[in-house]
Amino acid sequence: MFREVLGPTKREIANQLNRENGLTLAVLAERLGISREAVRIQINEMIHDGWVARSTQLRRGGKAGRPATLYQLTPAGQHLFPKQYDKLAQLLLQVLFEVEGLDCEHQILSDLTEQRLAPWRERLAGLSLDEKLQALKELYAAGDRFTELERLDDGWRLVEFNCPFLNVALRYPSLCSTSVNLLTRLLGVRVVREERFQDGANRCTFRILPDQPCEPPGFELEPEPQRV
């Protein structure tokens, strides 16, 4: 991702800010061996793209003059560099699921579903199924441009082309039960996952069945897919 997103000069600026967050244009220009104006142009573009932020700091020793302008990576800029959150999540789930047992797994997934459900429940309360789906489409579009809602002759299909938890979900497929439960309880109808990343598909698809009302009392694990 690092090489795909940033050109060579911006990569070196990001490297410098990653090593020492909070540098001036003068320091960056000296370290890169280019003019201050050249650095300014690159920095302004990185600020516009959300990778870098600027701040001011009073000069040391009480020296007179304008505060120094410092530049640092934003949280998004920090994520240009490799992270291993998925490995940490896998390790945590391994300890919880494999050491503590099935009861712990069910409870954790149930609590996770409730946390994901809470902000959506109020937004969709009192709406018809069509209205819920339209609101759901708008909510998904705001946070994930890789998700689509398709209208079918007998219902709808929600398609996810990107799974933000893919590496963890491949190791622990039961994690995806939270999505099935979330959709079922929000919409009040049966939802079935038809295509799965875990089976080699390049997407997950959730079939929404309006003619099958369903109000599960609580969290339920997704049934294992039938193998032909």
Each residue of 110-135: pLDDT tens digit? Answer: 888 888 888 888 888 889 998 998 88
pLDDT bracket for residue 228 (50, 70, 90): very low
CATH of 2-78, one of 1.10.10.10, 1.10.390.10, 3.40.50.2020, 2.30.30.760: 1.10.10.10
Say how far apart CA 167 and CA 173 lie, in whole Å: 10
pLDDT bracket for residue 33 (50, 70, 90): very high
The predicted model scores a pTM of 0.59
Give the residue among 45, 8, 5, 13 at the shortest CA–CA distance from 29.
13
pLDDT bracket for residue 206 (50, 70, 90): very high
**Topology, domain 85-213:** Muramoyl-pentapeptide Carboxypeptidase; domain 2 (3.30.1380)
Asked if the model's pLDDT at residue 3 lies above 70, the reply is no
Say how far apart CA 106 and CA 26 lie, in whole Å: 56
Query: Tell me: the pLDDT tens digits for 58-67?
Result: 555 555 557 7
Q: Read off the amino acid at residue 99.
A: V
The domain limits of the chain are 2-78, 85-213
Q: Where are the alpha helices (DSSP H) in 6-94?
A: 8-19, 25-32, 36-48, 75-78, 85-93
Cβ atoms of 68 and 59 closer than 8 Å? yes
Cβ atoms of 104 and 112 closer than 8 Å? no
pLDDT of residue 52: 93
pLDDT mean across residues, the chain: 82
Q: Hey, what long-range contacts does 47-56 have (CB within 8 A, 24 or more apart)?
A: 50/74, 50/76, 50/77, 51/6, 51/10, 51/14, 51/76, 51/77, 51/80, 52/13, 52/14, 52/17, 52/77, 55/22
Biggest alpha carbon–alpha carbon distance for the chain = 78
